[in-house]
Structure 1
Amino acid sequence: MTASACLVPDCDDAAQPEALVALCAHHLALAAESAVVDDVLPHPCPVCASRIGIRMPSGTVCATCEWRVGEVPDADLAPPRVDVVYALRFEDRVKIGTTSNLRQRLGAIWHEELVALERGDRSLEQRRHAELSEARIGRTEWFRITDEVAAHLAAIGEGRDPWMQHARWRSEALALRGLA
């Protein structure tokens, strides 16, 4: 019995005889790695609280922040600091502020929607205030929603869910501490 060739163009390797599709060992491994399945996590992600996971041959990760299931953040360490500049909408105006504890800060401010986030601290916040000064309401952190403000928010938001962005940044900060 002669071995068939791998179906991938320009691949000269022989297909694996037990494979359902005529692929060489290398291309079978690539196909297996790309076989991901959305699934419900066995418990909320310890980093972002998402319940959706992705099962891959190498293991299951959180679909939101990519935290590997089974890895536990060290409870003795403080949560990672992630400084963000946020944009909150309330009626026809937007507040641009900064915080390192997003959930706590937003719990203290009356708003209708978290519009966008940028990773940054007070210097970025002050730069945004200066850039959008024409729409600023007095000396507050609130701005009228002008075409310029709307364009800025659309550019920094780019259609992304701000909470998913924040979860990813927290996960990255944990990983950088050597916990992942």
Structure 2
Amino acid sequence: MPADSPVALCEGHLAAASDWADRTYGVPDLLPSPCRLCGSPLGVQFRSGWICAVCEWRHGDVPDDELAPPRVDVVYYLRYGDRVKIGTTSNPRQRFAAIWHEEVLAFERGDRMLEHRRHMQFEVDRFASTEWFRMSDALRAHIDALAAGSDDPWRLHARWISEANAVR
């Protein structure tokens, strides 16, 4: 038995347990090529093949191009200087092309009702009659909470799109 073994097993049984865990739970690694659905390079390899670690799309499967992309409404937070725009869209890439901004701060799933609630929530920081807000401590805390655990808001959006595709 190896001295640093986590359990009291001989090397042969440890190797067998490791092989079993790899077959059952997969081995995280880089995909052979980026995921066709969300673009992530991260995957999990099983004996039966690879799946994307972000959206769980089976590597090698081709999305049906004849299906319209699913609609996923999001509330977005864009930064330009010391201001933040809170808006909503179902097509962020197209929408952002029309808005001057420096950074996409966060997304949250939601429609115009959630956008309206956020506008009311941060009303004291709002520039009169616009969707632009001063970056206050409260707004920063909210954005940080939305972005927690993800360094790229687009990955979260890609996961939502992937989940919506999987439901179809």
Q: Shorter-normalised TM-score: what interval?
A: 0.7 to 0.9
2:164 to 153, 164, 173: 173
Q: Does 1:76 align with 2:66?
A: yes
Q: Deviations over 1:37-93 (max 9, x none)?
A: 412433x42212234433233321223322111222211110011110000011001
Which consecutive residues of structure 2, in runs of 5 or more, have no partner in the other structure? 1-5
Q: Does 1:57 align with 2:47?
A: yes
Change (3 A) 1:20 1:26: closer
Q: Does 1:131 align with 2:121?
A: yes
- Matches of 1:70 and 1:50 in 2, distance apart? 13
Change (3 A) 1:79 1:35: closer
1:99 to 89, 93, 97: 89
Structure 1 residue 112, shift from structure 2 partner:
0.9
Amino acid at match of 2:65: A
* SS in structure 2 at match of 1:109: coil
* SS in structure 2 at match of 1:54: strand
Task: Please tell me whether the aligned partners of residues 26 and 44 of structure 2 are also in contact (alpha carbons under 8 angstroms).
Answer: no
* SS in structure 1 at match of 2:12: coil
Q: Does 1:30 align with 2:18?
A: no
2:36 matched residue in structure 1: 46
Task: Please tell me whether the aligned partners of residues 98 and 122 of structure 1 are also in contact (alpha carbons under 8 angstroms).
Answer: yes
Q: Does 1:162 align with 2:117?
A: no
Identity of aligned residues (%): 54
- Matches of 1:35 and 1:78 in 2, distance apart? 32
Task: Please tell me whether the aligned partners of residues 85 and 120 of structure 1 are also in contact (alpha carbons under 8 angstroms).
Answer: yes
2:3 matched residue in structure 1: none
Taking only aligned residues, the RMSD between alpha carbons, in angstroms, comes to 2.5
Q: Does 1:153 align with 2:143?
A: yes
Comparing 86-95 with 31-40, which one deviates more in the overlay?
Answer: 31-40
- Matches of 2:68 and 2:116 in 1, distance apart? 27
Q: TM-score, normalised by structure 1?
A: 0.79
